[in-house]
Chain A
Amino acid sequence: MQSGPLFSLLFDPGTVLRDLARGDRARARAVRRYLPLLLALPPVSAAIGGSLFGWRLGTPEPLYLDAGQAVTVSVLYLLALCFGLFTTVGLARWMGVTYGAVGSYRIYLAFFVVVCAPLAVASLAHLFPQAFFNLLVMIPATIWSMTLLYRGLPLVLHVPPERGMLMSSALVGWLLVAAVSLLGISAALWTAGIGPSIRI
């Protein structure tokens, strides 16, 4: 196992991606080991921030969730993240046939862990749940993740760069649609009365 894999994941992703491209199984395993931590960071941060400090959506007073409701919302958040990640891996493998991508399921999964790592770590911003602050933190994290996707995909999955750009764009299209779906489903559930009650 390589030294400091979490550090490499965040600050030296180029080396990690090159190792994955070489089919380095030890590196892929080491990366995948961080998957539970990275998946847990956003919902745990949101639960702590939402119940202790309250969400600030643009008004001076924060909106609090009861601890129980915060946990329920966070568990659903975790499930949505798991669904998003594994569906994206599955879709990428399916698309990979069209774009001539080469790689095992484990390599695909490790690659998407590398891509998502900046977003997961940036979600520590949920500890201070001020909506605009979170937006400001997530924008550079999203740019970094997209850069890793566009640069890393051709390398790791052995696709010519131009073809990799098309495959990456198709995946970004899917992720945008997934994000909008999540917004819409949340809004519809909330309107139907399935959602937390907010303390003001």
Chain B
Amino acid sequence: MQNPNPDVDNPKEIYEDGVVVRLVQFAVLWAVLGMAVGVWVAAELLWPTLDFGQFWLSFGRIRPLHTNGVIFGFGVSALMATAFYSVQRTSHVRLFLPGLAWFCCYAWQLVVLLGGLSLLAGWTSSKEYAELEWPFDIAIAVIWVCFGIVFFGTIARRRIRPIYISNWFYGGLIIVIAMLHIVNNLALPVTLDKSYSLYAGAQDAIVQWWYGHNAVGFLLTGGFLGMIYYFLPKQAEQPIWSYRLSVVAFWAFTYSYIWAGPHHLHYNAIPEWVQSLGMVMSLVLLAPSWATMINGIMTVSKAWTKLKTDPALKFIVLSLAFYGLATFEGPMLAIRSVNVISHFTDWTIGHVHSGALGWNAMVTYGTFYFLVPRLVGVPLHSTRLANLHFVLALAGTLLYILAMWFAGVSQGLLWLSVDRFGELAYGFREVMAGMKPYYGLRLVAGLLFWGGTLLMAWNLFMTLRGRRPLAVAPPPVPEPWRLTRGPVAAPARVGA
């Protein structure tokens, strides 16, 4: 399926795809485990005794295990895999320091594994999405810098003049996440398992949500946009509808996202103008987000005939629809007068999962269904299973969102209700007791989505079983695009 090239005889010219396969395998493993923990968490909200009186099984410990497992285990492994795969193809050169790439692969899995166990043991910084304690924070920083060296080293050695748009997004992911991670986790260690943040009070909250929101922005959005900008045109066999729009969207996205964090702190003890700034910049974000969605939809619109035969493309089309929904809902929830109802309710959980399941997971599933058969040069084990997975993923995501919308709006309205004496009409426990049916529906939704993920794991395992990655060498670069180290006349237009 890959184009044979005479340079395959030279091992130094062959793309380093072994590490890509291994990272895909780890990503699928973490998806299965992380989502299984998510299903368990959902069941605990329905039947709290499912913790069996064990501290390590309590909601407070396994909820961060779920989020860390899916974001850092599944998400980052998938991002590393696709970044390593695409940066070689778009730079026409083998990975820079392949040994360091393998180090990133295994060291990252070790951090996710040991970090997860530390969460179960009760080690936590108590910062959402940054719960891991200082030894893990240092390890993550080191691995991330190594990831950056491999990625940017490959780009520096490229043989083609343009730096394709997907690399801008992956590069943004690497630089900004490094900055966010290091700044937010500056802390004074007191023991191996405990440290105290360098920031205090409201400043700590602002730094934390500057990190938290931009982790969503540059990792769960920017990184996955890098994935879509490379793999969507490949799957559709069409160039990006508007390359210029993709570049404009990148800079607009990068500039506006970084300001939006304070919308997580509406009506909290931070200055009101900071909240308003966060709200306005969140609304501005709609423009670059939808620019990318439109670019993706228009690209795939030209490849509609492929939908009949390609289950991967269905995942991508659907992921774009959910990306549009989530990036519209996010700015709307950032409006203070909407946030007063939605904050601290399950509406937020529904919003997060419309992005996490509908966008992140689906675009990754579509990419894996495209990538894995090409890596080993055989067709997908079962297209039928992939189509069944698509139905389960769609049903699971929609059920999840609907259940959380109903639960969240009910919670928001009930908590704002006052009786004729002006006192709160309902207590927290009273409202939460009424949420059981929705939590049951959410559990069913989670099981459906997880079941689909299991099918994918089996399908990809059977596709990969006993096979090694094909030896593929970079194709020659045509003259107008070839990078020579001397002065070169700039081409008029950049192609994919």
Residues of chain A whose beta carbon lies under 8 Å from any beta carbon of chain B:
57-59, 63, 98-99, 131-132, 135, 139, 142, 160-163, 165-166, 169-170, 172-173, 176-177, 180-181, 183-184, 187-188, 190-192, 198, 200
Contact = CB atoms under 8 A, between A and B. Distances in A.
Given A98-B301, A166-B300, 18 more contacts: A57-B410, A58-B438, A59-B426, A59-B431, A135-B402, A160-B305, A161-B308, A162-B305, A163-B304, A165-B307, A177-B328, A181-B328, A184-B329, A184-B338, A187-B337, A187-B338, A187-B409, A200-B419
A180 B351 CA distance: 10
**6 tightest Cβ-Cβ pairs between the two chains A and B:** A58-B434, A162-B307, A57-B410, A184-B332, A173-B321, A191-B337
Contacts of A163: 304
Given A139-B402, A166-B317, A177-B325, A187 B300 contact: no
A188 B337 CA distance: 5
Contacts of B337: 187-188, 191-192
A143 B463 CA distance: 32
Contact of B434 (A59, A99, A188): A59
Nearest to A177: B328
Contacts of B342: 187
B372 interface: no
A162 B311 CA distance: 12
Contacts of A63: 417
Interface string B468-483: 0000000000000000
> Interface centre among A58, A59, A166, A187, by most B CB within 10 Å?
A58
Contacts of B38: none
Given A176-B321, A177-B324, A180-B325, A187 B417 contact: no
Interface residues of B, number: 50
A134 to B, nearest CB: 8
> Interface centre among B321, B407, B431, by most A CB within 10 Å?
B321
Nearest to A132: B437
28 contacts: A58-B407, A58-B433, A58-B434, A58-B435, A59-B430, A59-B431, A59-B434, A132-B406, A135-B402, A135-B403, A135-B406, A135-B438, A139-B399, A139-B402, A161-B308, A163-B304, A165-B317, A166-B297, A169-B321, A173-B324, A177-B325, A180-B325, A181-B332, A183-B409, A187-B341, A187-B412, A188-B335, A200-B419
Contacts of B431: 58-59
B419 A57 contact: no
A176 B351 CA distance: 12
A107 to B, nearest CB: 22
Given A184-B332, A191-B338, A58 B410 contact: yes
B110 interface: no
A190 B305 contact: no
B192 to A, nearest CB: 44
A135 B341 CA distance: 20
Contacts of B433: 58
B182 to A, nearest CB: 35
B417 A176 contact: no
Nearest to B305: A162
B74 interface: no
Contacts of B425: 200
Contacts of A58: 407, 410-411, 414, 431, 433-435, 438
Interface in B78-94: none
Interface of B: 297, 300-301, 304-308, 314, 317-318, 320-321, 324-325, 328-329, 332-333, 335, 337-338, 340-342, 398-399, 402-403, 405-407, 409-414, 417, 419, 425-426, 430-431, 433-435, 437-438, 441
A166 B307 contact: yes
A106 B78 CA distance: 48
Contacts of B405: 183
Given A177-B328, A191-B341, A184 B409 contact: no
Contacts of B324: 173, 176-177
> Interface centre among A165, A181, A184, by most B CB within 10 Å?
A184
Contacts of B333: 184
A161 to B, nearest CB: 8
Contacts of A135: 402-403, 406, 438, 441
Contacts of B328: 177, 180-181
B177 to A, nearest CB: 28
B434 to A, nearest CB: 3
A63 B264 CA distance: 30
B301 A166 contact: yes
A176 B306 CA distance: 25
Given A132-B437, A132-B438, A180-B332, A160 B304 contact: yes
A57 B325 contact: no
Contacts of B314: 165
B410 A131 contact: yes
B417 A198 contact: yes
Nearest to A195: B413
